[in-house]
Amino acid sequence: MTTHSHYKYICRKCQKEHLQPILQDSPADTPIPSCCGSKRDMAFTSVVTPAGGGMSYLSNMLNAQADAIHSEP
């Protein structure tokens, strides 16, 4: 099974990308990073897999959902 190393976020205010290390014991409890003084402006963009790990079905699905969210008006 491929493990993911980071969640990728982008700040909606300054457009800076942030990599948040995933808590391996409890991925759902991984905190959302903050930028420009708030977590509220952070948008999830993708799951990062270590080099050579390949992409899993879940990662592809999350990336597709993030793309769909960003393309909405």
Residue ranges of domains in the chain: 6-71
pTM of the entire structure? Answer: 0.63
Q: Find the angle CA(29)-CA(63)-CA(12) to the nearest 5 degrees.
A: 75
Helix (H) / strand (E) element for 71: namely: helix 57-71
pLDDT 10s per residue in the chain (73 long)?
Answer: 457 789 999 999 999 999 999 998 888 899 999 999 888 899 999 888 876 555 555 666 666 667 666 665 5
Tokens of 1: 């099974």
